[in-house]
Structure 1
Amino acid sequence: MKNFSRTNLIFSLCGLNCGLCPMKLGGYCPGCGGGAGNQTCGIARCSLKHDHVEYCFLCPEYPCSRYSNIDPYDSFLTHQGQLRDIERAREIGIEAYNNQLSKRIQILEQLLSDYDDGRSKTFYCLAMNLLPLPEIEILLERTIHEIAFIDLPVKEKCRQITGQFKELAQEQGILLKLRKKGS
């Protein structure tokens, strides 16, 4: 969008974790305000009308009607934690939130580098977006330690890790699946 740019390309102005998006990871999207990106984003247009606010929560009208029924469906990235995440960033401050998000991105990159069977990117992105970070860290430390010295094919390591994430998600009451329109 012309004249729309931002410095933080891992966390969008509306609360999406762009740094955990398969499209951004694959180099197909620069992130919110990082270039061509989503040219039709109504929230970006709204930001331009409201003195280029960097995050919606900085706008004097937040939360506005745009948040009353925000994205009931997902795009390439889950929108399920969008309100929770923008409120968390508002509560703890953007620097602290970005630090937590950067940890999630680092874990995601490790998973994709060492434990991806070629079909797990979206699943791992969902897990990193929706599951609590402390539980993710504990789960991975335990699981990676268990399989570190076993000579398993990547596909089997991936199966074990995704199985652990599914169990954790079930315990937390979280569905690790994109919500598509018409599903």
Structure 2
Amino acid sequence: MANKIGAKKLIASCGMNCGICKFYLREKDGCPGCHVQPKETCLKCRIRICEKHTGDFCYDCKEFPCQRLKNLDKRYRSKYNMSEIENLHFIRENGMEKFLEKENKKWACSKCGGVISCHTQECSQCGVKNAKIKDKNV
């Protein structure tokens, strides 16, 4: 798999980078991402189908960050070393291109350049387990 950690179409409304998701990275029956022919689970996502959605990202909402997003963010911070809310703040303040550059540096395997899954900490290309991600402030 080519190193496709970040592409604009892979950034979900909530700030999740689908390019580092284990479901996107798996070879068999992989998920194309929340914005690209989403799977049934994505179509039911309460954040994705939020009736208060006014723009491309949750930060466009006057209630940002809402309790749903805070709950998701708390889980991802504690389990997966990433924050959807931090991602959204970074995108809003610095732009998508800078965010994608940062993500490509952060989630690239230092051994082969493949993509490290935020969920498994495993490189999707060389399979190295417990791959080290670079400092989140890259």
TM-score interval (norm. to shorter): 0.5 to 0.7
Structure 1 pair 65–14 and aligned structure 2 pair: CA distance change class (3 A): same
**Pick aligned residue for 1:50 from 53, 57, 62:** 53
Cα drift, residue 39 of structure 1: 2.4
Partners of 1:71 and 1:44 lie apart in 2 by 15
The question of whether the paired residues in 1 share the 8 Å contact of 2:52 and 2:61 is answered with no
The alignment's TM-score, normalised by the length of structure 2, stands at 0.63
Tell me: higher relative CO, structure 1 or 2? Use CA pairs within 8 A at least 6 residues apart. 2
Deviation at 1:113, TM superposition (A): 7.4
2:90 & 2:113 partners in 1: Cα distance? 25
RMSD across aligned positions (CA): 3.1
Seen in structure 2, the aligned counterparts of structure 1 residues 113 and 35 have a Cα distance that, compared at 3 Å, is closer
Q: CA deviation at 1:18?
A: 1.4
Pair 1:116–1:133, CA change in 2 (3 A) = farther
Residue deviations 1:56-107, cap 9 Å, x none?
1122332223234335435xx93742222222222212221122223445x2
TM-score by length of 1: 0.50
Q: Which has the larger radius of gyration?
A: 1
- Farther-moved stretch of structure 1 (78-87 vs 108-117): 108-117
Q: Which residue of 1 aligns with 2:37?
A: 35
CA contact (8 A) 2:13 2:57 kept: yes
For the pair 1:85 / 2:96, whether they are aligned, the reply is no
Q: Give the match for residue 138 of structure 1.
A: none
Amino acid at match of 1:22: K
Alignment match of 2:103 (pick from 97, 101, 104): 101
1:49, CA displacement in angstroms?
A: 4.6
Secondary structure in structure 1 of the residue aligned to 2:10: coil
Aligned residues: 116
Alpha-carbon distance in structure 1 between the residues aligned to 2:126 and 2:80: 21
List alignment gaps of at least 5 residues for structure 1: 1-6, 135-183
Mapped partners of 1:54, 1:66: distance in 2:
17
Contact 2:15 2:85 (8 Å CA) reproduced: yes
- For 2:63, the equivalent position in structure 1 comes to 61
